[in-house]
Chains A and B, each alone.
Chain A
Amino acid sequence: MNNTALALIGVFAPLSLVSFGGARTIIPDIETQAVSVHGWLTHREFIEMFAISRAAPGPGVTLVTLIGWKAGGWLGALVTSLAIYVPVTLIVIGASVLFRRYDIPPWSERIERAMTPIAIGLILAGVASVLKLMGGTVISYAVVGASTAIINWRRINPLLLLAGGGAVYAVAYLRT
């Protein structure tokens, strides 16, 4: 196994252990490690991969697989996917076996309740982190704000929302 593959495992396996609430919660560290620390991709590529991973069907951790692929080809994509899935899967299986064997549902509820605000803070930090990468322009703030408001107001198809955001940027680009 080459150095890049080992580095990918070293970055993503620890993040897997704290990804309460999915890949959305670890975006700030993914960005820091992939862009600033290891230079596997540029800011622009990170933003593009983030958009693709949200638009594509399947789990949100597709972003991580794309980063692995960009950094280390097919081997990178494979080891990164395993590094992000395996540790957290083992924890969830272990916890569910423990909770079932010792019949401690109050503890599982307490853990879930205590971890919820951590996931909230991490999701919003991820939004701030990528928004900063996008340059913090008026149009990016406007599209993020409008998308948040629309999805909280009406449960519309997320693909329509993504297409609408893309259309707004296309119009803004053509006008400049």
Chain B
Amino acid sequence: MAASALGLNAATGIETIKRHCDWPTLTVAIAVFAAVAVLHISIPWVVLAIAPLSFLLFWLKGHE
């Protein structure tokens, strides 16, 4: 059951990527995934560091 529950979570993530498939979304999502799943950095620190970067990337995209 846990594996199926993980599938539900993964499906939510993939569905959201499909709806917002642009370069800032992919860049930020990959950076967050790498920081948390690979480097095991605590989530509050990751959000504090990457949220301003995400705002900047979307601001830059808005001016393209």
Interface residues of A (CB under 8 A from B): 14-15, 17-18, 20, 24-29, 32, 47-48, 50-51, 54-55, 110-111, 113-131, 134, 139-140, 143-148, 150-152, 158, 161-166, 169
Contacts and interface: CB of A to CB of B under 8 A. Distances in A.
Nearest to A153: B11
Given A114-B54, A117-B32, A15 B44 contact: yes
Of A48, A130, A163, most buried by chain B (CB within 10 Å of CB) is A130
B37 A129 contact: yes
Nearest to A29: B43
Interface residues of B, number: 44
Interface of B: 1-17, 20, 24-33, 35-37, 40, 42-44, 46-47, 50-51, 54-55, 57-59
A155 to B, nearest CB: 10
Contacts of B7: 143-148, 150-151, 161, 165
B26 A117 contact: yes
A124 B16 CA distance: 11
Nearest to B25: A117
Given A55-B5, A120-B13, A122-B46, 17 more contacts: A17-B44, A20-B47, A24-B9, A24-B12, A28-B36, A54-B2, A55-B1, A110-B59, A114-B54, A118-B32, A120-B29, A123-B16, A124-B33, A128-B37, A134-B2, A150-B7, A158-B8
